[in-house]
Amino acid sequence: MATKFLSLASCARENGGCCADLLWPKPRYPSMPKFPKGELLDDEKKMEGPEAKALFSVTGMTCSACAGAVEKAVKRLPGIKEAAVDVLSNRAQVMFYPSFVNEETIREAIEDAGFDAALIATEEMIEKSIQACRIHVKGMTSTSCSSTVESALQAIHGVQKAQVALATKEGEIHYDPKILSYNQLLEAVKDIGLQAVLISKGENRCKLQLKVDGIWTDDSIKMLKESLQALPGVEDVYVDPELKKISTSYVSDVTGPRNFIKMIEAYESGHFKATIFPQGGRGSHRREEIELYYKSFLWSLVFTVPVFLTSMVFMYIPGLKRGFDIKIVNMMSLGMFLRWVLSTPVQFIMGRIFYAGSYKALRHGSANMDVLIALGTNAAYFFSVYVVLRAAASPEFEAMDFFETSSMLISFILLGKYLEGFAKGKTSEAIAKLMDLTPETATLITVDEKGDVTSEEDIDCRLIQKNDVIKIIPGARVASDGLVIAGQSYVNESMITGEAQPVVKSKGDTVIGGTLNENGVLHIKATRVGSESALSQIVRLIESAQMAKAPAQKLADRVSKFFVPVVVVLSFSTWLAWFLTGKLNGYPSSWIPSSMDCFELALQFGISVMVIACPCALGLATPTAVMVGTGVGASQGVLIKGGQALENTQKVNCIVFDKTGTLTMGKPVVVNTKLFTKMVLREFYELVAAAEVNSEHPLAKAIVKYAKKFREAEENPAWPEAKDFESVTGHGVKATVRNKKIVVGNKSFMFHQNIDIPADTKKILAETERLAQTGILVSIDGEITGALAVADPLKPNAREVISILKSMKVESIMVTGDNWGTANSVAKEVGITTVIAEAKPVDKAEKVKELQAAGYIMAMVGDGTNDSPALVAADVGMAIGAGTDIAIEAADIVLLKSNLEDVITAIDLSRKTFSRIRLNYLWALGYNLLGIPIAAGVLFPSTGFRLPPWVAGAAMAASSVSVVCSSLLLKNYRRPKNLNNLEMKEIQVE
């Protein structure tokens, strides 16, 4: 959230202060003194010295009145220079003089005003972003494990946020690197009995691991480390002598991997050889876990099959039965002894996974599925051991052992764990496919001043550095984000953006790493490498989204905390009820099988209850569906930032659309020109372009681009010199060109320049606005000379999208900063009835809040710049993407293709995903509500049917697998048919 606040601040700077009113509002209490009256007023003159800045999180604010109360409380303190309170992001930023007041006093003042406050960052911390690291946590088996890890991490001083996902067995921790290191985070996980492995550290730096072969000595290690640290741009160097590995983090603008390798190999005349360190990839931990369960299952089968045969099959074959009934010691038979020997390794070697999981859970006062498995199998195994030892010690004792129950139970659960892990691996295929898009090698070329290629070299893609020139041949994948400097081709970007049509690329166009070059040869200049690339950002965004818990999962987490203790009580109660009823002759003795007594029958019922209950299915219902849903969304060009965004999106019933760049193309073009004097059009546009070429406004760029049509022979025409240039934001420009005073702007700008507008010109402007065009007037030497009409074309299918949303019972509203005439015209054309025009960014946010107060679940669709306050305020912020520009902090959903149809896709996908989640919960809860009574024997008195423990274990394992498979069905998602029926349209922009 701190990042969002800072991004809003940068938005204010970049947009000429359009958001400034939001971040630094005028005091709502202008008469409020900065110091109490009296003696302290004399100190106001002494208010000199260093200033400080602090950022606070303020919870409990619901409206602008709350923000005013916080601001008032802070400004009453001595030494406060300025205070800004943002109710949208629940933040307060304070400028103060440390000689008069400190952060703790400010925090206490906010709390005295009735709100909870916490210091997020001091000035030093604000300047440096909170660092993030990703870890893989081994040994987690249930939601209680992940909750325990989360709680332990969040309790550490310096940790801002910690999220741990059971489905991926990964955690993301945001922490202050000045307070603690990632090694301390790993130790904290280790202290709770689990093992953590670092996946990545520091999102804002490129990272590289090198394997260095050679003779390692203490001196060489020290020299290599010092030499690398001395290179410009290197921020961190870590040396692992055991693995002969050197890990570096660096600023990609300054240096790169080839520089490191060159420096290492030059050390001591080439005694060392450096290469990229081989990595197992993101799924290596999951593969190891699946492999472990697979091998354990196979080994358990080796022992369990003979146990099953001797107890369930051979006993019904007369010859074999006599052989296994041979008594070894007293009443202990050969069959008993063999089953004991064979089931012991299954119980304690193949089943050690469940013992380890139980110990870790119980050590922290929680219980998980492993506890139920360990209790159930131990009850069966040790009761059987008791039976065997009692038979060996007695010449008369007869009883039946349950070794097949414990060994078969463990075998079936191991099989279930293997299938579950395999299925869960399928849920994150979207990330694996994205990561596989990057080619292994790239062709690095050297180009001379004339643009001719002087050399070519094949290098590892991970060795590409910024500003390298890469050759991309037809049929090859683009090796890096970059800029085309030579060549022309069609590039298929569907694997990144989801856009089906290939895009033409020529000199000056940008390309995205991982996309497919179809027919021509391209020379590109690398602009984003390593973790800065669009592909890396998308992968990181999806990983974070899959980790974030949906609010719906909170119920499952709460239930899971109490589930196991309740099941243990139910299991014990079941055994006790059947045992006591049998002892008291409460049911006929004929109910008891001939090979058992009432104790053994009751024990089987108790064990069945214990193992059939499955909190795993409940815990997997939401995260697996969210993982698949976000992955499917990414493949459709819709990046959804987590379960919270998914859950809110499926509830949306009202959408606020920005106009420019959202409903329209965002690329204005000149569509008409009207001259009021006898003047050559070419000369007119030379004067206008000379004045506008210095402006950064989109309309100015459109005019200059149109003016180039009159000088088509020149690639970069030189316009006449403009003197005394002045730009008035939102109104127009003026300059002196060829000794003529040129004024270009709107009606109000002409009025302020004391230039009369004829009645005929006013009619032309009115007609222009009626046609959803922007009228621009041109004055030369104080007289209106011409008028330009600039239009921003509607996006393809905008009207159809609004119509489909209406059919989905989603209301559409347009909010824009443009004038009322243009806004009403665009709204009428797309079918929107509610329009708000001439709105500042803060007005958009306020409108969203008003609609929320009226009971609407709001989505805001904007371009992620001026719309940031509204994107933050809405329940769901949808940012229109721009190809590689995906890092829009304020949004919950990024629409990569910039297509309006994807708004419908996002809503429909979220509804389908949560429909699947509800189905998963129905299955998981229904399974337990139905399975536990059957396992407890409710059908036994009337039907004689009872559920053996090993069958109950198989059913338990199957329930988890079925929930994951149910989520996997989302992979077959297809967007609504009415979207596919939309006519594909193109807009021709001159």
So which residues are the catalytic ones?
A: 658
Q: Report the SS3 class of residue 67.
A: helix
User: Are the beta carbons of 581 and 678 closer than 8 angstroms?
Assistant: no
Rg over alpha carbons for the chain, rounded to the nearest Å, is: 35
CA distance linking residue 265 with residue 269, whole number of Å: 7
How far is the CA of 631 from the CAs of 25, 39, 637, 884, 977, in angstroms? 41, 64, 10, 18, 20
Query: What is the per-residue DSSP string for 657-702?
Result: EPIIIIIB-S--EEEEEEESSS--HHHHHHHHHHHHTT---HHHHH
Measure the CA–CA gap between 170 and 164, rounded to whole angstroms: 6
- Burial category of 586 from C-beta neighbours within 10 Å (exposed 0-12, middle 13-18, buried 19 and up): exposed
Q: DSSP string of 167-222?
A: TTTEEEEEE-TTT--HHHHHHHHHHTT-EEEEEEE-TTSEEEEEEEES---HHHHH
Tell me the three-class secondary structure of 266-297, residue by residue. Answer: HHHHCCCEEEECCCCCCCHHHHHHHHHHHHHH
Q: Measured between alpha carbons, how far is 426 from 359 in angstroms, rounded to an integer?
A: 30
Pair type for strands 441-447 and 195-201 = unpaired
Structure tokens at 144: 């209680």
Residue type (1 letter), 895: L
Angstrom distance (rounded) from CA 260 to CA 248: 9
Q: What Cα–Cα distance (Å) separates residue 327 from each residue in 281, 336, 385, 395, 870? A: 56, 9, 16, 10, 82
d(CA 777, CA 111): 55
State the sign of the Cα–Cα–Cα–Cα dihedral 962, 966, 967, 972: positive
CA distance linking residue 364 with residue 146, whole number of Å = 12
Q: SS3 string of 909-950?
A: HHHHHHHHHHHHHHHHHHHHHHHHHHHHCCCHHHHCCCCCHH
Distance CA 77, CA 92 (A): 15
Tokens of 748: 């109000």
Which helix (H) or strand (E) segment holds residue 344: the answer is: helix 334-345
DSSP category for residue 475: T
Strands (E), 771-927: 773-780, 783-791, 811-815, 834-836, 858-862, 876-880, 893-895
Query: Which residue in 740, 739, 734 sits closest to 752, CA to CA?
Result: 734
CA distance readout (Å), 747 to 776, 819, 825: 8, 12, 19
**How far is 858 from 851, CA to CA, in rounded Å?**
7
Compute, in degrees rounded to 10, the torsion defined by CA atoms 219, 223, 226, 230: 170
Distances from the Cα of 793 to the Cα of 44, 705, 738, 871, angstroms: 56, 16, 34, 24
Rounded CA gap, 425 and 840, in Å? 47
Q: How many residues does the chain have?
A: 990
Positive or negative torsion for Cα 38, 39, 43, 45: positive
Sheet holding 206-213, edge to edge: 234-240, 245-250, 206-213, 273-276
Q: CB neighbours (10 Å) of residue 260?
A: 24
